[in-house]
Amino acid sequence: MLGSTLLGALRTLRSPTLVGTALRASCGASPVWRTPPVRRLQLCSALCAGHNKWSKVKNIKGPKDEARGKIFMKYGMLIRIAVKEGGSNPDLNINLANLLEQCRSKNMPKASIDAAIKSAEKAKPASQHMFEARGPGGCLLLIEVLTDNNSRTHQDIKRLLNKNGGMLSDGARHNFNRRGVVVVPAQNVSAERALEMAIEAGAEDVLETEDEEEKLQLKFICAMSDLNKVRGSLEGLGLQITSAGLEFVPRNHSSLDQEQMEAASTLIEALTDCPDVVRVWDNIQADS
Looking at the fold, whether 146 and 110 belong to one and the same domain comes out as no
Domain's final residue, options 36, 57, 78:
57
Q: Which phi and psi angles does 257 have, rounded to 5°? A: -80, 180
CA 15 – CA 128 distance, rounded (Å): 60
Question: Last residue of some domain: 26, 57, 88?
Answer: 57
Do 236 and 252 have their domain in common? yes
Cβ contact 114:90 at 8 Å:
no
**Mean of pLDDT values over 238-267:** 92
Average pLDDT over residues 20-41: 39
Helix %, strand %, coil % for the chain, to 5?
Answer: 55, 20, 25
The verdict on 234 and 138 lying in the same domain is: yes
Q: Residue 87's pLDDT is what?
A: 86
Which pLDDT belongs to residue 50?
36
Which domain-ending residue is among 122, 154, 170?
122
Asked if residue 206 and residue 270 are part of one domain, the reply reads: yes
Which domain does 159 fall in, by range?
128-286
Structure confidence at residue 39 (pLDDT): 38
More confident call, 200 vs 212: 200
For residues 45 and 163, the model is more confident at 163
51 and 80 inside one domain: no
How high does pLDDT run on average in the chain? 78
Q: What angle do CA 36, 41, 42 make, to 5 degrees?
A: 100
Give pLDDT, residue 1.
Answer: 46
Q: Are residues 53 and 68 in the same domain?
A: no
Q: Say yes or no: 135 and 278 in one domain.
A: yes
Q: Indicate whether 153 and 92 sit together in one domain.
A: no
Q: Residue 235's domain is classified under what CATH number? A: 3.30.70.980
Same domain, yes or no: 277 and 189? yes
23 vs 229, residue with greater confidence: 229
pLDDT of 152 over the 70 cut = yes
More confident site: 226 or 115: 226
Backbone dihedral angles phi then psi of residue 144, each to the nearest 5 degrees: -90, 125
For residue 37, pLDDT beyond 50: no
Contact yes or no for 133/143 (Cβ under 8 A): yes
Residue range 106-127, pLDDT digits in tens: 788 888 888 888 887 776 677 8
pLDDT at residue 124, as a whole number: 67
Top pLDDT among 76 and 22 is at 76
3-state secondary structure 13-39: HCCHHHHHHHHHHHCCCCCCCCCCHHH
Pair 51, 86 in one domain: no
For residue 228, pLDDT beyond 60: yes
The CATH number given to whatever domain includes residue 117 is 1.10.10.200
Average pLDDT over residues 137-162: 94
Separation of CA 72 from chain center = 9
SS (H, E, C) 127-156: EEEEEEEECHHHCEEEEEEEECCHHHHHHH
Number of structural domains found in the chain = 3
Does residue 11 carry a pLDDT above 50?
no
pLDDT in tens, 38-76: 333 333 333 333 334 333 344 444 445 666 777 788 888
**Environment class of 180 (CB within 10 Å of its CB; exposed 0-12, middle 13-18, buried 19+):** buried
Q: What is the pLDDT, as a whole number, of residue 64?
A: 55
Same domain for 214 and 162: yes
Read off the amino acid at residue 44.
C
Same domain, 38 and 70: no
